[in-house]
A = this chain, B = another copy of it.
Amino acid sequence: MTTAQRPTLEAVARRAGVSRATVSRVVNGSTTVAEEIQEAVRRAVAELGYVPNLAARTLVTQRTDSIALIMPEAATRVFSDDQVFPGIIQGVSQELEAADKQLVLMLAGSAAGHDRVERYTLGRHVDGVLFASLHGADPLPGTLARAGIPAVCSGRPLDDSVPYVDVDHLGGVSRAVAYLLDAGRQRIATIAGPQDMVAGIERLAGYRDTLAAAGHPPLVAVGDFTRESGAAAMRQLLDRHPDLDAVFAASDLMAHGALRTLREAGRRVPDDVAVIGFDDIEMAAYTDPPLTTVRQPIKEIGREMTRLLLRMATGQPFEQTVILPTELVIRESA
């Protein structure tokens, strides 16, 4: 334990022959300080290797210069290989880096974990809170909003309590289904996601609407975004509708599971059954056959959430809703 006492403002001030206040002004970029004094202060800072003590600053400014990113640890989507998790983090991180703020990551798994998150965020230990893939109707965003703590969700919160960033699920799904229809597919089924998550709900709605508009009946099985659930749902669909000739899966992972089931059932893809997924994860290009899918800009979600939050935190005008575009990526499965 080297106890090399770190230099304080005081030390810098003495060395530069000015007052603490002046050093503070220079360090924080005030323009009202004479050029040569600024120079002297900066030299002293460099010579002493001065680094401001954030705790002391926080104590008086009431800013922490850090924001929390809350992720539900248990959520299937988060820790499987669908890359939503790393993608969002990466986006958030980039945007925070530009703003010179810190990222405090909290995985809220257990009930105890949730309490901890609540204590920490409501205790104003961060300047704002980002929620990634909310599970159901968590009251925390609303609570934070009421406490005046900026918060942003990814995906529309069920109670509309805070601003959110989401992708155009409906548009993406609609394009995917339209593509299948254009290709002459007659019996288009879907493997839907969990119906307590916005992504699950919206993607199913998009499927229903587009199909209804074309006068086709919906063929629905429900999964939970995982491969296993996709494989199981596919079996169910084949049982109930042996004549289906296309499937839209609400996640690439489920599409992957479906692909396996189809192969086991002896159906050729895309000849017998066309398959389209959603997400465009890394793996989608490497399935057999490569997966046609709806790409969503995950990293952008993280970035937009962060931008929105920072605007809220600094009192700038901000939108209640940001919707990012999705895109149909054509490969070989459809």
Contacts and interface: CB of A to CB of B under 8 A. Distances in A.
Interface of A: 1-4, 6, 51-56, 58-59, 64, 66, 73, 78-83, 85-87, 89-90, 93-94, 97, 100, 102-107, 112-113, 116, 119-120, 122-125, 146-148, 227, 256-257, 260, 263, 281-283, 286, 288, 315
Contacts of A79: 83, 86-87, 90
A148 B81 contact: no
Nearest to A49: B122
B282 A260 contact: no
Given A102-B104, A148-B2, A286 B90 contact: no
A286 B147 contact: no
A220 to B, nearest CB: 24
Contacts of A106: 93, 102-103
18 contacts: A1-B148, A2-B148, A4-B147, A52-B123, A55-B56, A59-B59, A79-B83, A79-B87, A81-B282, A86-B86, A90-B107, A94-B107, A102-B120, A102-B125, A103-B104, A105-B105, A257-B286, A288-B288
Contact of A260 (B2, B80, B90, B286): B286
Contact of A86 (B4, B6, B78): B78
B51 A123 contact: yes
A299 to B, nearest CB: 9
A286 B55 contact: no
A85 B66 CA distance: 22
Contacts of A146: 2
Contacts of A124: 6, 51
A12 to B, nearest CB: 14
A227 to B, nearest CB: 6
Contacts of A80: 282
Nearest to A97: B113
Nearest to A3: B148
Contacts of A90: 73, 79, 107
A158 to B, nearest CB: 23
